[in-house]
Amino acid sequence: MRLHNTIVLSLSALTVLALAGCSTASTPTDARPFSASAPARQEGENAPASALLSSAALSKRLLDESDLGEGYARKPQQPERHDDVAVSGCPALDKMGGAAAAGGSLDFPRKAKASFAYAGDSDSEVAEELYSGTEDNLSKGVGRIFEAMTSCTTYQVLAGATPVTVTTQKLPAPQLGEERWSQLLTFVAGGHSSVVKQTAVRTGTVVVVVSGSAALVDAHLTKAVDKADSAP
């Protein structure tokens, strides 16, 4: 069974991890991007240009195999798919529209992402995304989507003909950066289930998002934030 771009309402990396846990078929694909905030401000607005990082600079601050440890391999990025998506049972998400329910990257043009799998264990996956923008824009954009996702403890997503039940739980986030958000999501479809933890940390003009099994997110989050916040 394969689920197409169903489940998450924030990040393509989280969608991939959730689908992988529910699927026994081919590798799932990333979902389309959606607007989680107002359009990103132009460089230099409310922040000096030097404070904003390009996508190329962000990519150099992503975790790599040496950070994760022996046995991890980076997964190739998948092409985007576009499926019809509807949400029921959660007014906040329904108000955001089907594009939000489809998942995808946050709508910030400066971004980089990577996902990793552990050899021989499909459950040991972890993904990271980095975004750069003005502090206010990042705060509003990430806060809005996390608030919407955790506003309903259970809701349903219909992607194409595939119904998925999503259960969310807001979690306390570690005291990192200037702002942080965390949640635990359980996805159930066709008798299969997957549990994914997602934690986001804003440090200055960079947001770090780490998604995967709870143990892996907890193990690698601090290192991800430190590396993202490091000097080039």
C-alpha dihedral over 60, 65, 69, 70, to 10 degrees? -160
Pairing of strands 206-212, 110-118: unpaired
pLDDT in tens, 165-217: 889 999 999 999 999 999 998 888 888 888 889 999 999 999 999 998 899 99
pLDDT in tens, 57-88: 999 999 999 999 888 889 887 665 545 667 88
HEC sequence for 101-127: HHCCCCCCCEEEEEEEEECCEEEEEEE
In the chain, where are the structural domains located?
A: 12-228
Residue 109 reports pLDDT greater than 90? no
Among candidates 107, 130, 138, which has minimal Cα distance to 36? Answer: 107
pLDDT bin (cut points 50, 70, 90) of residue 144 is: confident
Superfamily name and number for 12-228? PknH-like extracellular domain (3.40.1000.70)
Report the mean per-residue pLDDT for the chain. 74
Average pLDDT over residues 7-22: 41
pTM given for the model:
0.78
